[in-house]
């Protein structure tokens, strides 16, 4: 168990090394959306990329902090109930997307030379179907797990569903802190808010007028890069939340009680190792996505052909 706990703590390092290793291979590095070099006075795209990368870096640091706290048996927010305990990554991502949305909405400038549109541009115009599937499936997985964990949870003395009970019948029971409705519903609501904000940012990013015919290709490439970062940030935040929820559920499910010569397990005892393994896997993918956001922002801007998904 100590080795597994250590693994959880070093996961961010493993994910960082994995991302660096992947980006070291030129063929894979070229698959990343490369932001083009745009006229500095033309667009706030660089500022938005920095904002998204800062948000992603914050989430990575947050994950490291939580891992260290867990390793030292400390809990975020103390022992008291705090509805936001599992929703912090989602709420932080919402704040970052809100800041990007404000930047996009507040930056209005007449094009130097208007570019007549040839096709409708929507929130999907610069985002690949695979990226949308990624974000959608992550959010769906979180919501499904909230429903699963919520239905297995029991209320505490104040009626908050945040416990997993070992029922021993007449001999008395035992409770373990669990990811029940009390934590799951705020997390699900924050995930839905994140989805709405993601669509809003993708929409605002797409409908901006182009500055001039000569800059259309560069601007399209920049919008593609920005859309990828937005989707990866959202998916990464959702996966970090799901990983923490899975980890807590695994810990609670693995609790057993010895009483009067008998050993009592939770109803989820058999799923405990699976939940733990899933939490590591999900954490790894979430951290990798967030580090990809940082990597895109860190790449040297260069001219590149646009990727437009009709």
Answer yes or no: are the C-beta atoms of 138 and 238 closer than 8 Å.
yes
Write out the two tokens for 16: 């960082």
Candidate list 1, 27, 79, 118; residue touching another protein; CB under 8 A: 118
Is residue 306 within the footprint of another protein (CB under 8 A)?
no
DSSP code, position 254: T
Is residue 178 within the footprint of another protein (CB under 8 A)?
no
Is residue 7 within the footprint of another protein (CB under 8 A)?
no
Candidate list 172, 173, 209, 277; residue touching another protein; CB under 8 A: 209
Burial 267-287 (b: 16+ CB within 10 A, else e): ebeebbeebbebbbebbbbbb
Residue nearer to another protein on the CB measure, 116 or 258: 116
Residue nearer to another protein on the CB measure, 78 or 120: 120
**Phi-psi label, residue 77: left if phi above 0, alpha if psi -120 to 50, beta otherwise:** left
Candidate list 26, 78, 120, 169; residue touching another protein; CB under 8 A: 120
Residue nearer to another protein on the CB measure, 135 or 199: 199
Q: 298, 307, 301: which is closest to 31 by C-alpha?
A: 307
DSSP code, position 154: E
Candidate list 1, 24, 27, 116; residue touching another protein; CB under 8 A: 116
Nearest distance from C-beta of residue 106 to another protein, angstroms: 15
Question: Which residues in the 86-115 window bind another protein by CB under 8 A?
Answer: 110-115
State the pairing for strand pair 174-177/256-259.
unpaired
Is residue 223 within the footprint of another protein (CB under 8 A)?
no
Candidate list 77, 117, 173, 273; residue touching another protein; CB under 8 A: 117
Residue nearer to another protein on the CB measure, 121 or 244: 121
Is residue 77 within the footprint of another protein (CB under 8 A)?
no
Residue nearer to another protein on the CB measure, 39 or 167: 39
In the chain the first and final C-alpha atoms are separated, in Å, by 49
Nearest distance from C-beta of residue 287 to another protein, angstroms: 38
Is residue 207 within the footprint of another protein (CB under 8 A)?
yes
Candidate list 145, 210, 280, 285; residue touching another protein; CB under 8 A: 210
CA pair distance 228, 266, nearest whole angstrom: 41
**Contacts with another protein: how many residues (CB under 8 A)?**
15
Interface stretch with another protein, choices 143-151, 204-212, 221-229, 297-305 (CB under 8 A): 204-212
Answer yes or no: are the C-beta atoms of 59 and 240 closer than 8 Å.
yes
Is residue 121 within the footprint of another protein (CB under 8 A)?
yes
Sign of CA dihedral 144, 148, 151, 155: negative
Is residue 39 within the footprint of another protein (CB under 8 A)?
no
Answer yes or no: are the C-beta atoms of 186 and 84 closer than 8 Å.
yes
Helical spans, DSSP H, in the chain: 2-24, 26-29, 45-71, 88-106, 129-152, 181-207, 216-253, 272-298
Using CB under 8 A, list all residues that contact another protein: 110-121, 207, 209-210
């Amino acid at each position: 168990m100590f080795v597994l706990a250590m693994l959880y703590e070093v996961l961010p390092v493993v994910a960082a090394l994995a991302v660096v290793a992947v980006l070291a291979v030129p063929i894979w590095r070229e698959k990343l959306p490369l932001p083009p070099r745009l006229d500095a006075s033309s667009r706030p795209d660089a500022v938005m990329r920095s904002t998204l990368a800062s948000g992603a870096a914050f989430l990575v640091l947050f994950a490291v902090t939580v891992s260290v706290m867990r390793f030292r048996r400390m809990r975020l927010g103390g022992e008291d109930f705090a509805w936001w305990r599992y929703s912090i990554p989602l709420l932080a991502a919402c704040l970052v997307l809100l800041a990007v949305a404000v930047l996009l909405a507040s930056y209005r400038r007449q094009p130097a030379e208007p570019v007549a549109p040839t096709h409708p541009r929507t929130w999907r115009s610069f985002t690949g179907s695979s990226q949308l599937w990624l974000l959608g499936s992550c959010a769906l997985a979180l919501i499904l797990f909230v429903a699963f964990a919520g239905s297995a949870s029991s209320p505490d003395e104040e009626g908050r569903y945040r416990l997993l009970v070992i029922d021993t019948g007449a001999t008395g029971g035992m409770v373990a802190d669990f990811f029940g409705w009390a934590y799951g519903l705020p997390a699900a609501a924050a995930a839905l808010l994140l989805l709405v904000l993601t669509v809003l940012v993708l929409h605002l990013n797409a409908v901006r007028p182009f500055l001039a015919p000569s800059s259309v290709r560069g601007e399209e490439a920049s919008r593609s890069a920005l859309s990828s970062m937005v989707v990866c940030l959202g998916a990464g935040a959702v996966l970090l939340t799901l990983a923490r929820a899975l980890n807590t559920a695994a810990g609670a499910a693995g609790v057993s009680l010895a009483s009067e010569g008998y050993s009592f397990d939770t109803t989820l005892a058999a799923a405990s190792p699976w939940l733990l393994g899933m939490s590591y896997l999900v954490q790894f993918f979430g951290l990798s996505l967030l580090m990809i956001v940082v990597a895109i922002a860190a790449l040297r801007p260069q001219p590149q052909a646009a990727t437009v998904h009709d």
